[in-house]
A and B are shown apart, each in its own frame.
Chain A
Amino acid sequence: GQQLNQSPQSMFIQEGEDVSMNCTSSSIFNTWLWYKQDPGEGPVLLIALYKAGELTSNGRLTAQFGITRKDSFLNISASIPSDVGIYFCAGRIIQGAQKLVFGQGTRLTINP
């Protein structure tokens, strides 16, 4: 089946540091989405990407859709305590297919 490889699995950083995480796949994606999940909650959409090469920002978050359409990264600048959580990449592989394929998640922990 389709697989998204997300890395790193976990990150331990100091408040104020920048964060970078990425997802790669052997399959071509036509949509990349980045979600954040807090404990006991559902995934909340952070950024959506639709075109190869697209670079999109949402506040301190920036994400890019790789030009090969097989990868995407998410950067968080100047991290704050509320950035703690699990970040998931997700994508749609086939044009018109509805299902999202999720990465394994990156657990972000911030030391104040």
Chain B
Amino acid sequence: EPEVTQTPSHQVTQMGQEVILRCVPISNHLYFYWYRQILGQKVEFLVSFYNNEISEKSEIFDDQFSVERPDGSNFTLKIRSTKLEDSAMYFCASSDLAKNIQYFGAGTRLSVL
């Protein structure tokens, strides 16, 4: 069964450093998303991306965040200058046009020290 894959599974970084989280969405999907989950809390929407542009973003997704689809298969989330409070699980998801069910990857655990 097709799946969303995310790398790395765990990223440790120093505060102030830039990180790039990578995702390979399901191949025929057109909509891509990033969510985050702080330890023990609910999953929160960050951003959605369609047709090479952001279609919706939350208040969490400030100027420190950016997304990119650098080629036909990858979808990335960049955090420009990480803060301690950015420590969380980051989930990528994708959906096709028709049913809009979002399928999630296994996540990247980001630890900011």
Known A98-B31, A98-B55, A103-B42: A41·B106 in contact at CB below 8 Å? yes
By a CB distance below 8 angstroms, the chain B residues around A109 are none
Q: Which of B78-103 contact A (CB under 8 A)?
A: 91, 95, 99-103
Residues in B neighbouring A42, C-beta threshold 8 A: 4, 6, 91, 104-107
- In the bound complex, what is the Cα–Cα distance between A98 and B48 (angstroms)? 7
Please report the total number of B residues contacting A with Cβ < 8 Å. 27
Q: Is B58 an interface residue (CB 8 A)?
A: yes
Q: How far is the CB of B7 from chain A (nearest CB, A)?
A: 13
Q: Is B43 an interface residue (CB 8 A)?
A: yes
Shortest distance between the CB of B107 and any CB in chain A (Å): 5
Inter-chain contacts of B104 with A (CB < 8 A):
35, 42-44
Given known pairs A42-B91, A42-B106, A42-B107, the reply for A101 and B45 (CB within 8 Å) is yes
In the assembly, what is the distance between CA of A43 and CA of B93, in Å? 10
* Cα(A105)–Cα(B109), bound, Å: 19
A33 interfacial contact with B, CB 8 Å: yes
Q: Among A41, A97, A98, A104, point to the contact of B42 (Cβ < 8 A).
A: A104
Chain B residues with CB below 8 A from A100, complex form: 33, 35, 43, 45, 102
For residues 45 through 88 of chain A, which have their beta carbon under 8 Å from a beta carbon of chain B? 45, 48, 88
Measured between beta carbons, the chain B residues less than 8 angstroms from A29 are none
Which residues from chain B contact A103 at a C-beta distance below 8 Å?
A: 42
- Chain B residues 38-62 with CB under 8 Å of chain A are 41-45, 48, 50, 55-56, 58
B-contact bits for A4-47, CB 8 A (1 contact / 0 none):
00000000000000000000000000010101000011111100
Interchain CB contact under 8 A, A105 and B91:
no
Of the candidates A48, A101, A105, the one whose C-beta lies within 8 Å of that of B99 is A48
Q: Give the docked Cα–Cα distance between A92 and B106 (Å).
A: 22
Residues of B19-37 whose CB lies within 8 A of A: 31, 33, 35
B43 to nearest A CB, angstroms? Answer: 4
Task: Please measure, in the bound complex, the distance between the C-alpha atom of A99 and the C-alpha atom of B42, giving whole angstroms.
Answer: 14
- A: which residues have CB within 8 A of B? 31, 33, 35, 40-45, 48, 88, 90, 92, 97-105
